[in-house]
Structure 1
Amino acid sequence: MSEHTSDEPRTVGATETSFAVIERLRDRSGATVTELAADLGASKSTVHNHLRTLVELGYVVTEGSVYHLGLQFLDLGNAARDRLDLYDVTKQGVDELVSTTDEHGYVMVEEGGRGVYIYQSTTERGVQTDSHIGTTVDLHATAVGKAYLAHLEEPRRSELLENIELRERTPSTYTDRNAFEAELDAVRKQGFAFNDEERFVGMRAVGAPVLGPDDEVLASISVSGPTTRLEGERYRSELPELVTQTARLIGIRASYS
Protein backbone atom coordinates (compact mmCIF):
# COMPACT_ATOMS: atom_id res chain seq x y z
CA MET A 1 0.00 0.00 0.00
CA SER A 2 1.26 3.46 -0.84
CA GLU A 3 2.64 5.52 2.00
CA HIS A 4 0.63 8.53 0.81
CA THR A 5 -3.00 8.89 -0.15
CA SER A 6 -4.30 11.10 -2.93
CA ASP A 7 -6.23 13.36 -0.54
CA GLU A 8 -3.17 14.20 1.53
CA PRO A 9 -1.77 17.72 1.04
CA ARG A 10 1.33 17.77 -1.15
CA THR A 11 2.96 20.53 0.89
CA VAL A 12 3.02 21.58 4.54
CA GLY A 13 1.65 25.06 5.03
CA ALA A 14 3.72 25.84 8.13
CA THR A 15 6.93 24.91 6.33
CA GLU A 16 5.96 27.06 3.36
CA THR A 17 5.36 30.01 5.68
CA SER A 18 8.72 29.57 7.42
CA PHE A 19 10.53 29.58 4.10
CA ALA A 20 8.50 32.58 2.92
CA VAL A 21 9.69 34.41 6.05
CA ILE A 22 13.29 33.39 5.36
CA GLU A 23 13.10 34.56 1.74
CA ARG A 24 11.59 37.92 2.74
CA LEU A 25 14.38 38.43 5.27
CA ARG A 26 16.87 37.72 2.49
CA ASP A 27 15.18 40.09 0.04
CA ARG A 28 14.78 42.89 2.58
CA SER A 29 18.19 42.42 4.25
CA GLY A 30 16.28 42.34 7.52
CA ALA A 31 12.73 43.23 8.53
CA THR A 32 10.35 43.77 11.45
CA VAL A 33 7.39 41.57 12.32
CA THR A 34 5.05 44.25 10.99
CA GLU A 35 6.86 44.46 7.64
CA LEU A 36 6.92 40.69 7.22
CA ALA A 37 3.26 40.33 8.11
CA ALA A 38 2.34 42.96 5.51
CA ASP A 39 4.51 41.28 2.86
CA LEU A 40 3.09 37.83 3.50
CA GLY A 41 -0.52 38.81 4.16
CA ALA A 42 -0.34 36.99 7.49
CA SER A 43 -1.10 37.98 11.06
CA LYS A 44 1.66 39.40 13.23
CA SER A 45 1.20 36.57 15.72
CA THR A 46 1.70 33.94 13.02
CA VAL A 47 4.84 35.62 11.70
CA HIS A 48 6.17 36.10 15.23
CA ASN A 49 5.71 32.39 16.02
CA HIS A 50 7.71 31.40 12.95
CA LEU A 51 10.41 33.93 13.75
CA ARG A 52 10.65 32.77 17.35
CA THR A 53 11.16 29.18 16.20
CA LEU A 54 13.82 30.21 13.69
CA VAL A 55 15.60 32.28 16.33
CA GLU A 56 15.62 29.35 18.77
CA LEU A 57 17.07 27.11 16.04
CA GLY A 58 19.78 29.67 15.32
CA TYR A 59 18.75 30.48 11.75
CA VAL A 60 17.47 34.00 12.50
CA VAL A 61 18.95 36.66 14.76
CA THR A 62 17.55 39.93 16.08
CA GLU A 63 18.87 43.47 16.29
CA GLY A 64 16.32 45.32 18.35
CA SER A 65 13.00 44.86 16.54
CA VAL A 66 14.64 43.87 13.24
CA TYR A 67 15.16 40.24 12.30
CA HIS A 68 18.02 39.04 10.08
CA LEU A 69 19.16 35.74 8.61
CA GLY A 70 21.72 34.07 10.85
CA LEU A 71 25.17 32.93 9.80
CA GLN A 72 24.09 29.34 10.39
CA PHE A 73 22.75 29.42 6.83
CA LEU A 74 26.38 29.59 5.66
CA ASP A 75 26.90 26.05 6.90
CA LEU A 76 23.93 24.79 4.91
CA GLY A 77 25.01 26.70 1.81
CA ASN A 78 28.53 25.32 1.97
CA ALA A 79 27.20 21.79 2.42
CA ALA A 80 24.94 22.16 -0.63
CA ARG A 81 27.78 23.53 -2.73
CA ASP A 82 30.35 20.99 -1.54
CA ARG A 83 28.32 18.11 -2.97
CA LEU A 84 29.35 19.44 -6.38
CA ASP A 85 32.83 17.99 -6.90
CA LEU A 86 33.60 20.48 -9.66
CA TYR A 87 33.38 23.60 -7.46
CA ASP A 88 37.10 23.91 -6.72
CA VAL A 89 38.23 23.43 -10.33
CA THR A 90 35.63 25.82 -11.74
CA LYS A 91 36.56 28.43 -9.14
CA GLN A 92 40.22 28.23 -10.11
CA GLY A 93 39.48 28.46 -13.83
CA VAL A 94 37.01 31.35 -13.57
CA ASP A 95 39.34 33.30 -11.27
CA GLU A 96 42.04 32.99 -13.93
CA LEU A 97 39.57 34.07 -16.63
CA VAL A 98 38.50 37.12 -14.65
CA SER A 99 42.13 38.06 -14.01
CA THR A 100 42.71 38.00 -17.79
CA THR A 101 39.53 39.78 -18.91
CA ASP A 102 38.92 42.11 -15.94
CA GLU A 103 35.18 41.36 -16.19
CA HIS A 104 32.80 39.49 -13.87
CA GLY A 105 32.84 35.70 -14.13
CA TYR A 106 30.17 33.14 -13.20
CA VAL A 107 29.74 29.39 -12.79
CA MET A 108 26.24 27.98 -13.25
CA VAL A 109 24.68 24.56 -12.78
CA GLU A 110 21.09 23.56 -13.45
CA GLU A 111 18.74 22.39 -10.74
CA GLY A 112 15.01 21.96 -11.10
CA GLY A 113 14.95 23.59 -14.53
CA ARG A 114 16.59 26.82 -13.33
CA GLY A 115 20.17 27.97 -13.50
CA VAL A 116 21.93 28.46 -10.15
CA TYR A 117 25.14 30.44 -9.75
CA ILE A 118 27.48 28.42 -7.52
CA TYR A 119 30.39 30.83 -7.88
CA GLN A 120 31.09 34.35 -9.03
CA SER A 121 34.40 36.13 -9.41
CA THR A 122 34.33 39.90 -9.41
CA THR A 123 36.53 42.75 -10.50
CA GLU A 124 36.72 46.32 -9.25
CA ARG A 125 35.55 47.81 -12.53
CA GLY A 126 32.71 45.30 -12.93
CA VAL A 127 29.12 46.50 -13.04
CA GLN A 128 27.20 45.04 -10.11
CA THR A 129 23.79 43.52 -10.87
CA ASP A 130 21.46 41.44 -8.70
CA SER A 131 23.51 38.30 -9.43
CA HIS A 132 25.37 36.58 -6.61
CA ILE A 133 26.20 33.09 -5.43
CA GLY A 134 22.89 31.25 -5.09
CA THR A 135 21.02 33.44 -7.56
CA THR A 136 18.61 31.45 -9.73
CA VAL A 137 18.33 32.61 -13.34
CA ASP A 138 16.22 31.81 -16.38
CA LEU A 139 18.14 29.50 -18.69
CA HIS A 140 16.80 31.21 -21.81
CA ALA A 141 17.95 34.72 -20.86
CA THR A 142 21.61 34.09 -19.98
CA ALA A 143 24.75 33.07 -21.84
CA VAL A 144 25.46 30.37 -19.26
CA GLY A 145 21.92 29.04 -19.57
CA LYS A 146 21.95 28.90 -23.35
CA ALA A 147 25.39 27.27 -23.42
CA TYR A 148 24.18 24.67 -20.92
CA LEU A 149 20.93 23.90 -22.73
CA ALA A 150 22.47 23.78 -26.19
CA HIS A 151 24.96 21.08 -25.24
CA LEU A 152 22.59 18.76 -23.38
CA GLU A 153 21.83 15.43 -25.01
CA GLU A 154 18.32 14.16 -25.61
CA PRO A 155 15.95 13.52 -23.93
CA ARG A 156 17.08 15.86 -21.15
CA ARG A 157 17.30 18.85 -23.48
CA SER A 158 13.72 18.42 -24.74
CA GLU A 159 12.49 17.81 -21.19
CA LEU A 160 13.91 21.11 -19.99
CA LEU A 161 12.76 23.03 -23.07
CA GLU A 162 9.19 21.80 -22.66
CA ASN A 163 9.07 23.26 -19.15
CA ILE A 164 10.83 26.55 -19.77
CA GLU A 165 8.62 29.63 -19.88
CA LEU A 166 10.22 32.08 -22.27
CA ARG A 167 9.55 35.11 -20.13
CA GLU A 168 10.56 38.50 -21.45
CA ARG A 169 13.24 40.09 -19.28
CA THR A 170 14.20 42.81 -21.79
CA PRO A 171 13.16 43.65 -25.37
CA SER A 172 16.05 41.40 -26.52
CA THR A 173 14.99 38.26 -24.63
CA TYR A 174 14.04 35.25 -26.75
CA THR A 175 10.29 34.71 -26.33
CA ASP A 176 9.54 32.77 -29.52
CA ARG A 177 10.20 29.05 -29.08
CA ASN A 178 11.21 28.35 -32.68
CA ALA A 179 13.65 31.26 -32.69
CA PHE A 180 15.07 30.16 -29.36
CA GLU A 181 15.63 26.59 -30.50
CA ALA A 182 17.35 27.90 -33.64
CA GLU A 183 19.59 29.97 -31.37
CA LEU A 184 20.47 26.86 -29.35
CA ASP A 185 21.38 24.99 -32.54
CA ALA A 186 23.75 27.82 -33.45
CA VAL A 187 25.23 27.82 -29.95
CA ARG A 188 25.88 24.08 -30.11
CA LYS A 189 27.66 24.42 -33.47
CA GLN A 190 29.89 27.31 -32.41
CA GLY A 191 30.54 26.05 -28.88
CA PHE A 192 29.64 29.24 -27.02
CA ALA A 193 26.67 31.53 -26.37
CA PHE A 194 26.09 35.27 -26.36
CA ASN A 195 23.78 37.18 -24.07
CA ASP A 196 23.18 40.46 -25.87
CA GLU A 197 21.21 42.52 -23.33
CA GLU A 198 18.78 39.62 -22.89
CA ARG A 199 18.65 39.72 -19.08
CA PHE A 200 19.71 43.29 -18.34
CA VAL A 201 19.66 46.24 -20.71
CA GLY A 202 23.21 47.52 -21.13
CA MET A 203 24.88 44.22 -20.18
CA ARG A 204 26.36 41.49 -22.37
CA ALA A 205 27.92 38.12 -21.61
CA VAL A 206 29.70 35.22 -23.28
CA GLY A 207 29.18 31.69 -21.96
CA ALA A 208 30.48 28.19 -22.68
CA PRO A 209 29.70 24.70 -21.35
CA VAL A 210 31.99 22.68 -19.10
CA LEU A 211 31.93 19.15 -20.53
CA GLY A 212 32.94 15.87 -18.89
CA PRO A 213 34.86 13.01 -20.51
CA ASP A 214 31.73 11.71 -22.27
CA ASP A 215 30.66 15.21 -23.33
CA GLU A 216 28.06 15.39 -20.57
CA VAL A 217 27.36 18.96 -19.43
CA LEU A 218 28.76 19.48 -15.92
CA ALA A 219 28.21 23.24 -15.68
CA SER A 220 28.67 26.38 -17.73
CA ILE A 221 30.74 29.52 -17.23
CA SER A 222 30.57 33.08 -18.48
CA VAL A 223 32.07 36.53 -18.33
CA SER A 224 29.82 39.58 -18.38
CA GLY A 225 30.21 43.33 -18.62
CA PRO A 226 28.64 46.52 -19.94
CA THR A 227 27.96 46.93 -23.65
CA THR A 228 30.45 49.81 -23.71
CA ARG A 229 33.28 47.31 -23.05
CA LEU A 230 31.86 44.10 -24.54
CA GLU A 231 31.62 45.20 -28.15
CA GLY A 232 33.18 44.67 -31.54
CA GLU A 233 36.00 42.15 -31.96
CA ARG A 234 36.44 41.79 -28.21
CA TYR A 235 32.85 40.66 -27.72
CA ARG A 236 32.46 38.61 -30.89
CA SER A 237 35.86 36.90 -31.06
CA GLU A 238 38.36 37.49 -28.24
CA LEU A 239 36.10 36.71 -25.28
CA PRO A 240 34.46 33.64 -26.87
CA GLU A 241 37.94 32.17 -27.45
CA LEU A 242 39.03 32.86 -23.86
CA VAL A 243 35.79 31.55 -22.35
CA THR A 244 35.72 28.35 -24.40
CA GLN A 245 39.41 27.67 -23.67
CA THR A 246 38.77 28.11 -19.95
CA ALA A 247 35.70 25.85 -20.09
CA ARG A 248 37.70 23.13 -21.84
CA LEU A 249 40.49 23.37 -19.27
CA ILE A 250 37.99 23.16 -16.41
CA GLY A 251 36.44 20.10 -18.03
CA ILE A 252 39.84 18.39 -18.22
CA ARG A 253 40.66 19.25 -14.62
CA ALA A 254 37.23 18.05 -13.45
CA SER A 255 37.62 14.76 -15.33
CA TYR A 256 40.99 13.89 -13.82
CA SER A 257 40.91 15.50 -10.40
Structure 2
Amino acid sequence: MSNSRGNNTVKTAKTTFEILETIKNKNSANLTELTKEFSLSKSSIHNYLCTLEEDGYVIREGDEYRLGLRFLDLAGHARHQESLYKIARDEVRTLAEETGEMANLLVEEHGRGIYVYTAHGENAVKTDTYIGQRVHLHNTALGLAILSQLPSERVNEIVDQHGLPATTENTITDRGELFDRLEQVRKQEVAFDDEARVKGLRCVAVPIINNDQAVEGAISLSGPASRFQGERFRNELPQKLKDTANVIELNITYT
Protein backbone atom coordinates (compact mmCIF):
# COMPACT_ATOMS: atom_id res chain seq x y z
CA MET A 1 0.00 0.00 0.00
CA SER A 2 1.41 3.40 -0.95
CA ASN A 3 1.83 6.23 1.50
CA SER A 4 -0.75 8.25 -0.43
CA ARG A 5 -3.38 5.52 -0.07
CA GLY A 6 -2.50 5.15 3.60
CA ASN A 7 -2.91 8.89 4.22
CA ASN A 8 -6.28 8.88 2.44
CA THR A 9 -7.45 5.97 4.59
CA VAL A 10 -6.49 7.79 7.79
CA LYS A 11 -8.15 11.00 6.57
CA THR A 12 -11.36 9.12 5.76
CA ALA A 13 -11.46 7.54 9.21
CA LYS A 14 -10.80 10.91 10.85
CA THR A 15 -13.61 12.54 8.87
CA THR A 16 -15.98 9.76 9.93
CA PHE A 17 -15.25 10.40 13.60
CA GLU A 18 -15.53 14.16 13.13
CA ILE A 19 -18.97 13.72 11.58
CA LEU A 20 -20.05 11.60 14.53
CA GLU A 21 -18.67 14.16 17.01
CA THR A 22 -20.55 16.93 15.20
CA ILE A 23 -23.82 14.98 15.34
CA LYS A 24 -23.23 14.31 19.04
CA ASN A 25 -22.49 17.95 19.85
CA LYS A 26 -25.59 19.12 17.98
CA ASN A 27 -27.73 16.22 19.33
CA SER A 28 -28.82 15.74 15.72
CA ALA A 29 -27.91 17.24 12.35
CA ASN A 30 -29.16 17.20 8.77
CA LEU A 31 -27.27 16.78 5.53
CA THR A 32 -27.15 20.52 4.80
CA GLU A 33 -25.74 21.36 8.25
CA LEU A 34 -23.06 18.71 7.99
CA THR A 35 -22.07 19.78 4.47
CA LYS A 36 -21.46 23.32 5.79
CA GLU A 37 -19.22 21.91 8.55
CA PHE A 38 -16.88 20.01 6.22
CA SER A 39 -15.00 20.77 3.01
CA LEU A 40 -16.82 18.00 1.20
CA SER A 41 -19.65 17.80 -1.30
CA LYS A 42 -23.20 16.98 -0.22
CA SER A 43 -22.94 13.63 -2.02
CA SER A 44 -19.76 12.72 -0.10
CA ILE A 45 -21.36 13.55 3.26
CA HIS A 46 -24.41 11.56 2.20
CA ASN A 47 -22.19 8.54 1.49
CA TYR A 48 -20.67 8.78 4.97
CA LEU A 49 -24.10 8.98 6.55
CA CYS A 50 -25.48 6.08 4.53
CA THR A 51 -22.58 3.87 5.61
CA LEU A 52 -22.96 4.86 9.26
CA GLU A 53 -26.73 4.33 9.09
CA GLU A 54 -26.35 0.92 7.46
CA ASP A 55 -24.07 -0.23 10.29
CA GLY A 56 -26.31 1.23 13.00
CA TYR A 57 -24.04 4.04 14.15
CA VAL A 58 -26.49 6.77 13.17
CA ILE A 59 -30.28 6.78 12.94
CA ARG A 60 -32.20 8.83 10.39
CA GLU A 61 -35.41 10.50 11.54
CA GLY A 62 -36.85 12.49 8.66
CA ASP A 63 -34.06 14.80 7.52
CA GLU A 64 -32.18 14.56 10.83
CA TYR A 65 -29.44 12.15 11.82
CA ARG A 66 -28.65 11.23 15.44
CA LEU A 67 -26.29 8.74 17.06
CA GLY A 68 -27.54 5.17 17.15
CA LEU A 69 -27.60 2.77 20.07
CA ARG A 70 -24.90 0.67 18.40
CA PHE A 71 -22.48 2.79 20.41
CA LEU A 72 -23.89 1.36 23.65
CA ASP A 73 -22.58 -2.05 22.61
CA LEU A 74 -19.07 -0.67 22.08
CA ALA A 75 -19.18 1.49 25.20
CA GLY A 76 -20.50 -1.33 27.36
CA HIS A 77 -17.78 -3.66 26.14
CA ALA A 78 -15.08 -1.05 26.72
CA ARG A 79 -16.32 -0.38 30.24
CA HIS A 80 -16.34 -4.06 31.15
CA GLN A 81 -12.76 -4.26 29.92
CA GLU A 82 -11.88 -1.62 32.52
CA SER A 83 -10.87 -3.61 35.59
CA LEU A 84 -11.27 -0.65 37.97
CA TYR A 85 -14.93 -0.38 37.01
CA LYS A 86 -15.60 -3.99 37.94
CA ILE A 87 -13.74 -3.68 41.23
CA ALA A 88 -15.07 -0.27 42.30
CA ARG A 89 -18.70 -0.10 41.13
CA ASP A 90 -20.27 -1.78 44.18
CA GLU A 91 -18.31 0.43 46.58
CA VAL A 92 -19.24 3.55 44.62
CA ARG A 93 -22.91 2.52 44.66
CA THR A 94 -22.77 2.00 48.42
CA LEU A 95 -21.15 5.41 48.82
CA ALA A 96 -24.07 7.03 46.98
CA GLU A 97 -26.64 5.13 49.07
CA GLU A 98 -25.00 6.03 52.38
CA THR A 99 -24.56 9.73 51.62
CA GLY A 100 -27.68 10.25 49.51
CA GLU A 101 -25.55 12.09 46.96
CA MET A 102 -24.12 11.42 43.50
CA ALA A 103 -20.97 9.25 43.51
CA ASN A 104 -18.64 9.03 40.52
CA LEU A 105 -15.74 6.97 39.21
CA LEU A 106 -13.36 8.59 36.72
CA VAL A 107 -10.27 7.35 34.88
CA GLU A 108 -7.74 9.26 32.78
CA GLU A 109 -7.27 8.42 29.12
CA HIS A 110 -5.32 10.48 26.57
CA GLY A 111 -5.14 13.37 29.02
CA ARG A 112 -8.90 13.63 29.57
CA GLY A 113 -11.15 12.30 32.31
CA ILE A 114 -13.67 9.59 31.39
CA TYR A 115 -16.67 8.86 33.62
CA VAL A 116 -16.95 5.07 33.79
CA TYR A 117 -19.57 4.84 36.54
CA THR A 118 -21.99 7.06 38.44
CA ALA A 119 -24.48 6.19 41.18
CA HIS A 120 -27.29 8.32 42.58
CA GLY A 121 -28.40 8.47 46.20
CA GLU A 122 -31.93 9.47 47.16
CA ASN A 123 -31.06 13.19 47.36
CA ALA A 124 -28.72 13.34 44.36
CA VAL A 125 -29.16 16.27 42.00
CA LYS A 126 -29.30 15.88 38.24
CA THR A 127 -26.19 17.03 36.39
CA ASP A 128 -24.83 16.89 32.84
CA THR A 129 -22.65 13.89 33.77
CA TYR A 130 -23.10 10.64 31.86
CA ILE A 131 -21.17 7.40 31.41
CA GLY A 132 -18.43 7.85 28.83
CA GLN A 133 -18.41 11.62 29.11
CA ARG A 134 -14.98 13.15 28.54
CA VAL A 135 -14.01 16.13 30.68
CA HIS A 136 -10.96 18.25 31.31
CA LEU A 137 -8.96 17.24 34.36
CA HIS A 138 -8.11 20.68 35.72
CA ASN A 139 -11.65 21.82 36.55
CA THR A 140 -12.99 18.82 38.48
CA ALA A 141 -12.09 17.41 41.89
CA LEU A 142 -11.79 14.00 40.23
CA GLY A 143 -9.33 15.34 37.69
CA LEU A 144 -7.28 17.19 40.29
CA ALA A 145 -7.08 14.01 42.38
CA ILE A 146 -5.68 12.13 39.39
CA LEU A 147 -3.33 14.91 38.27
CA SER A 148 -1.91 15.17 41.80
CA GLN A 149 -0.54 11.64 41.44
CA LEU A 150 1.07 12.11 38.03
CA PRO A 151 4.66 13.24 37.39
CA SER A 152 5.04 16.96 36.65
CA GLU A 153 6.20 16.13 33.13
CA ARG A 154 2.96 14.28 32.42
CA VAL A 155 0.84 17.09 33.86
CA ASN A 156 2.64 19.58 31.61
CA GLU A 157 2.02 17.34 28.60
CA ILE A 158 -1.70 17.25 29.39
CA VAL A 159 -1.88 21.02 29.80
CA ASP A 160 0.07 21.53 26.56
CA GLN A 161 -2.33 19.22 24.72
CA HIS A 162 -5.68 20.28 26.19
CA GLY A 163 -5.06 23.69 27.74
CA LEU A 164 -6.78 25.12 30.81
CA PRO A 165 -10.10 26.41 29.45
CA ALA A 166 -12.47 28.14 31.86
CA THR A 167 -16.00 26.84 32.36
CA THR A 168 -16.85 29.07 35.34
CA GLU A 169 -15.15 31.99 37.08
CA ASN A 170 -13.76 29.48 39.61
CA THR A 171 -11.88 27.37 37.05
CA ILE A 172 -8.10 27.24 37.36
CA THR A 173 -6.67 28.74 34.16
CA ASP A 174 -3.07 29.41 35.22
CA ARG A 175 -0.44 26.65 35.09
CA GLY A 176 1.37 27.88 38.19
CA GLU A 177 -1.88 27.99 40.16
CA LEU A 178 -2.67 24.47 38.99
CA PHE A 179 0.62 23.09 40.29
CA ASP A 180 0.10 24.89 43.60
CA ARG A 181 -3.33 23.28 43.91
CA LEU A 182 -1.96 19.83 43.05
CA GLU A 183 0.64 20.16 45.80
CA GLN A 184 -2.15 21.00 48.24
CA VAL A 185 -4.15 17.97 47.08
CA ARG A 186 -1.15 15.69 47.60
CA LYS A 187 -0.69 16.96 51.17
CA GLN A 188 -4.37 16.71 52.10
CA GLU A 189 -4.97 13.51 50.08
CA VAL A 190 -8.26 14.99 48.92
CA ALA A 191 -9.33 17.36 46.13
CA PHE A 192 -12.13 19.93 46.23
CA ASP A 193 -14.05 21.45 43.33
CA ASP A 194 -15.82 24.63 44.42
CA GLU A 195 -18.11 25.25 41.43
CA ALA A 196 -15.12 25.04 39.07
CA ARG A 197 -16.89 23.14 36.27
CA VAL A 198 -20.59 23.70 36.92
CA LYS A 199 -22.02 26.74 38.68
CA GLY A 200 -23.73 25.73 41.93
CA LEU A 201 -22.14 22.27 42.05
CA ARG A 202 -19.39 21.26 44.45
CA CYS A 203 -17.40 18.06 44.44
CA VAL A 204 -14.89 16.29 46.66
CA ALA A 205 -12.64 13.48 45.39
CA VAL A 206 -9.78 11.18 46.31
CA PRO A 207 -7.41 9.20 44.05
CA ILE A 208 -7.33 5.41 43.76
CA ILE A 209 -3.73 4.19 44.07
CA ASN A 210 -2.59 0.67 43.25
CA ASN A 211 0.10 -1.36 45.01
CA ASP A 212 2.75 0.05 42.66
CA GLN A 213 1.84 3.58 43.81
CA ALA A 214 0.37 4.40 40.39
CA VAL A 215 -2.97 6.18 40.10
CA GLU A 216 -5.79 4.04 38.72
CA GLY A 217 -8.52 6.68 38.81
CA ALA A 218 -10.52 8.68 41.32
CA ILE A 219 -13.86 8.59 43.12
CA SER A 220 -15.96 11.56 44.15
CA LEU A 221 -19.17 12.83 45.68
CA SER A 222 -20.99 15.71 43.99
CA GLY A 223 -23.85 17.88 45.18
CA PRO A 224 -25.30 21.37 45.43
CA ALA A 225 -23.23 24.03 47.16
CA SER A 226 -26.08 24.47 49.64
CA ARG A 227 -25.46 20.97 51.02
CA PHE A 228 -21.74 20.69 50.34
CA GLN A 229 -20.39 23.13 52.88
CA GLY A 230 -18.84 23.38 56.33
CA GLU A 231 -17.86 20.27 58.27
CA ARG A 232 -19.72 17.94 55.93
CA PHE A 233 -17.89 19.19 52.83
CA ARG A 234 -14.44 19.58 54.35
CA ASN A 235 -14.25 16.56 56.67
CA GLU A 236 -17.20 14.15 56.76
CA LEU A 237 -17.49 13.42 53.02
CA PRO A 238 -13.70 13.34 52.44
CA GLN A 239 -13.36 10.73 55.19
CA LYS A 240 -16.08 8.58 53.64
CA LEU A 241 -14.29 8.79 50.31
CA LYS A 242 -10.95 7.86 51.86
CA ASP A 243 -12.52 4.85 53.59
CA THR A 244 -14.10 3.72 50.33
CA ALA A 245 -10.86 4.26 48.40
CA ASN A 246 -9.03 2.12 50.96
CA VAL A 247 -11.42 -0.78 50.32
CA ILE A 248 -11.10 -0.42 46.54
CA GLU A 249 -7.30 -0.28 46.74
CA LEU A 250 -7.22 -3.46 48.82
CA ASN A 251 -9.49 -5.18 46.33
CA ILE A 252 -7.21 -4.07 43.47
CA THR A 253 -4.22 -5.55 45.28
CA TYR A 254 -5.81 -8.92 46.00
CA THR A 255 -8.05 -9.40 42.98
5+ residue gaps, structure 1, are none
Distance 1:11 1:165 in 2: 29
Residue of structure 2 aligned with 1:197, choices 184, 195, 198? 195
Contact kept? 1:103, 1:125, Cα under 8 Å = yes
TM-score by length of 1: 0.89
Distance 1:187 1:104 in 2: 21
Distance 2:26 2:154 in 1: 36
Deviations 1:50-100 (A, max 9, x none): 011112223223233332322221221122222211111221111011111
Q: What secondary structure, in the 3-state scheme, does the structure 1 residue paired with 2:14 have?
A: helix
Deviations 1:169-205 (A, max 9, x none): 2111112222211111110111110001111111100
Distance 1:227 1:109 in 2: 24
CA separation of 1:57 and 1:226: change in aligned 2, threshold 3 A? same
Q: What secondary structure, in the 3-state scheme, does the structure 1 residue paired with 2:211 have?
A: coil
Structure 2 match to 1:216? 214
Contact kept? 2:204, 2:221, Cα under 8 Å = yes
Percent of aligned pairs with the same residue?
41
Contact kept? 1:20, 1:40, Cα under 8 Å = no
Q: What secondary structure, in the 3-state scheme, does the structure 2 residue paired with 1:105 have?
A: strand
Counterpart of 1:77 in structure 2: which amino acid?
A
Structure 2 match to 1:118? 116
Aligned residue pairs total: 254
Contact kept? 2:99, 2:121, Cα under 8 Å = no
Structure 2 match to 1:27? 25
Deviations 1:104-145 (A, max 9, x none): 111111111111111111245433232211111111100001
Is residue 184 of structure 2 the alignment partner of residue 174 of structure 1? no
Is residue 22 of structure 2 the alignment partner of residue 17 of structure 1? no
Residue of structure 2 aligned with 1:251, choices 243, 249, 252? 249
5+ residue gaps, structure 2, are none
Distance 2:137 2:112 in 1: 6
Q: What secondary structure, in the 3-state scheme, does the structure 2 residue paired with 1:185 have?
A: helix
Q: What secondary structure, in the 3-state scheme, does the structure 2 residue paired with 1:139 have?
A: coil
Distance 2:196 2:58 in 1: 36
CA separation of 1:26 and 1:160: change in aligned 2, threshold 3 A? closer
